[in-house]
Structure 1
Amino acid sequence: MIAAVNGYALGGGCELALACDIRFASPNAQLGQPEVTLGICPGWGGTQRLLRIIGPSRAKDLIFSGRKITAEEAFSMGLINKVIPSENLLSETRAYAKTIAKNSNFAIGISKMLVNRGTDANLDTGLKLEIYSWAVCFSTKDREERMRKFVEKK
């Protein structure tokens, strides 16, 4: 899933973006977790996803202060993958999605699972999952066809 943020993504909107795999934003985007200013904590994954994406210290800064940040600041801390001019945001996001869609759905799904599981696993466990999954990918017809086309330079 790819988020294209063009405006405010505060609280639940930010948490929705955090649930995506990739996040693009226009320069006029503002992101944040302002829940503490209302006397509540983030409740839709903000504490857990934010810390995994930008680290605990930066996550605490955004959550404890309740401040809004610009797309550029979000990019500098790794919250946003790319800042794209507003007029190009949707077209570039769609073009990126089409690039991904050309690849193997199975291999992308396995890779996503490995990255997500690797976040919570130690390196040894993550590497074991990866080599097992790599072998599973080798058993698919999709891999066979894609490698054949590669070798034939198609």
Structure 2
Amino acid sequence: MSNPLIVVSRTDGPLRPSPIEPSWILEGNPVASNAILSTSADGTASTIVWECTEGRFEWHYDVDETIHFLEGSVVIEADGMAPQRLGAGDVIFFKRGAVARWHVEKKVRKLAFFRRTVPGFVGFAIKVAGKLRRMIGGSGTPSGSLQEAR
């Protein structure tokens, strides 16, 4: 099947080089690599596993990104945010447009969920379509979703 509805991936598989933009590196020689684990059919969401060696750099977020740290230690700071030390089990969310300074203290490995935002009118249309679908009889949300948990 060329476009499966369910994709299974592993976070411990091989990674490919994913260099950090050289002008963003502040100190050291951080080396990053990643592997794409899944991508939505419309290309607006994806999941990757990413790792990086020690160093300091700035990161500019052009999409929304939720990170779940799998291993290692990092201190993240940004304007208006005190430095935060994060490690295995911690989760952080960056909105598109955020800029953060990373200090990787011990090689980190993370699972990252990316979502490209859509224009406001498109988001509104999606919400309306979901409400109409629920009113007509379809659930509009997958079983076990956040909507059902509320």
Select the structure that is richer in strand: 2
Q: TM-score, normalised by structure 2?
A: 0.30
Select the structure that is richer in helix: 1
